[in-house]
Structure 1
Amino acid sequence: MEMPGERGKHAWRDDILTHRNQLSTADHDAEALALAETITTVLSAPVGPGPATVAAYVPVRGEPGDLRMLDALAGTGATVLLPVTGEPGPLSWAVYTGAEHLVRRRFGLREPDGPVLPPAVLAGAGVILVPALAVDRRGVRLGRGAGYYDRSLDLADPAARLIAVVRDEELVPVLPEEPHDRRMGWALTPNAGFTPLGATGGPS
């Protein structure tokens, strides 16, 4: 996919969503399996005392990955938090306890049916997987434009590892950036695995 850097966010979104929609079911499944097999290496380094807490999400609408990624994380003993949508603002969260406890809610998203936790719980996550349409080598992330994650990441621990999950071709040289954008420290792609971003190559 050829995508020049000097473009507006709307053009980037249109191109990436078009390419995602053209991806075959078989290719999406293969990429999802690769992500599930790689994801647990994010916990290979300590993220804090006691069981790790990882903030993740349920991929939807062509996003790379599937529930196998969440099951792999939960299988390590980590507490996996998933977003619960509401009014515009920072996301609330709930603990992932298996596919059978996911229900469809606002925007057609699948969310846990357990207790809803306040946005501030994100401060306890040592690793945060962030949905993205693309991310560049500096760590600039392109989202869907709603701003939920930009607001939520303001509550995250500054030392948390922020990881944008994208397809390999969605890790690009340069994306448009705005002052409120929070840079990612890593990209996770199906074939390349974890790629450090930014000048230092460490957490953003």
Structure 2
Amino acid sequence: MNSDPSHQKRALRAELRERRRNMTALEKDVATDGLTGHLIELVSGLNARSISCYLPTPNEPNTRPFLNWAQDHDIRVLFPISREDGLLDWTVGGPGAETDGLFGTPEPRGDLLGPIAINDVDLIIVPAASVGRDGLRMGWGRGYFDKTLGSMDRRPPVFAVIFDHELVDSVPRELHDQPVDGVVTPGGVIPF
């Protein structure tokens, strides 16, 4: 086996993508129900009034029912907007039009608030490919969230959203990788 973490990550990402693609509609629905309840539990437990979260792609854990709940409960949600320079802009989400971002990921349309807008949230919810029990998050390889989290002086709690089987003993580590404070899965909220 290759000991280069970037090669290990590439192989693991391919395996995880395939496993997500092979989930049945019923498995995805059950996962969405559990995930929604646990995200609500996390936000309510932290009394978060302003959060950041992402719009999911078809194979990611579905955050949309949770986002609908957040909107119905007047929780301000910032959504990431990918930039070509590797940074994230943010916009306040709401019902309405979406567009495909730089890499085909769904992004809401709205006024861009700039990279520092993330500094004002109470909770950051990020996507992930996998997370180790030590809190190390492995993303999908573009480094946007690692750059964002690594540049923050004071970070609010950061939780990654993954399927239950994507919480593993450890993931390959590179110097730029940023840890998270916990994960939210269909099976529960697990703080580290």
Match of 2:83 in 1: 86
Q: 178-187 or 156-165: which moved more?
A: 156-165
TM-score (norm 1): 0.84
Q: How many residues are treated as equivalent by the alignment?
A: 187
Give the Cα–Cα distance (whole angstroms) in 1 for the partners of residues 154 and 41 of structure 2: 21
Shift in Å at residue 46 of structure 1?
4.5
RMSD: 1.9
Distance in 2 (CA, whole Å) between partners of 1:123 and 1:110 is 22
- Tell me by how many angstroms 1:108 deviates: 2.4
Q: CA shift at 1:41, angstroms? A: 1.6
1:188 and 2:184 are equivalent in the alignment? yes
Paired AA for residue 18 in structure 1: E
Q: Which amino acid aligns with 2:11?
A: A
CA gap 1:72/1:156 in 2 versus in 1, 3 angstroms: farther
Which consecutive segments of 4 or more residues in structure 1 shift more than 6 A?
Answer: none
Higher relative contact order (CA 8 A, sep 6+): 2
- TM-score for both structures, normalised by structure 2: 0.89
- The residue aligned with 1:149 is 145
Structure 2 residue identity aligned to 1:126: D
Stretches of structure 2 that go unaligned for 5 or more consecutive residues are none
Q: How far does residue 44 in structure 1 lie from its aligned partner after superposition?
A: 2.6
Residue 61 of structure 1: how far off its partner (Å): 4.1
- Is the deviation greater in 61-70 or in 180-189? 61-70
Please state if 1:68 is matched with 2:68.
no
Question: Hey, what's the Cα distance between the residues in 1 that align with 2:99 and 2:134?
Answer: 36
1:153 CA displacement: 1.3
The reply on whether 1:112 has 2:116 as its aligned counterpart is no
Tell me the alpha carbon deviations over residues 71-100 of structure 1, each in whole angstroms, 9 at most, x when there is no partner: 1222222100111112132200111112x2
Question: SS at the partner of 1:44?
Answer: helix
Q: Tell me: CA distance 1:154–1:34, structure 2 relative to 1, closer, same or farther (3 Å).
A: same
The verdict on how the C-alpha distance between 1:177 and 1:114 changes in structure 2, with shifts beyond 3 A counting, is same
Q: Does 1:96 align with 2:85?
A: no
- Structure 1 residue 157: deviation in Å? 5.5
Given that residues 119 and 155 in structure 1 are in contact (C-alpha distance below 8 angstroms), is that contact kept between their aligned partners in structure 2?
Answer: no
| Structure 1 Cα separation of the partners of residues 23 and 57 of structure 2 | 14
Q: Take 2:164 and 2:56, find their aligned partners in 1: how far apart are those partners?
A: 16
What does residue 35 of structure 1 align with?
Answer: 35
Q: Which runs of 5+ in 1 are unaligned?
A: 1-5, 198-204
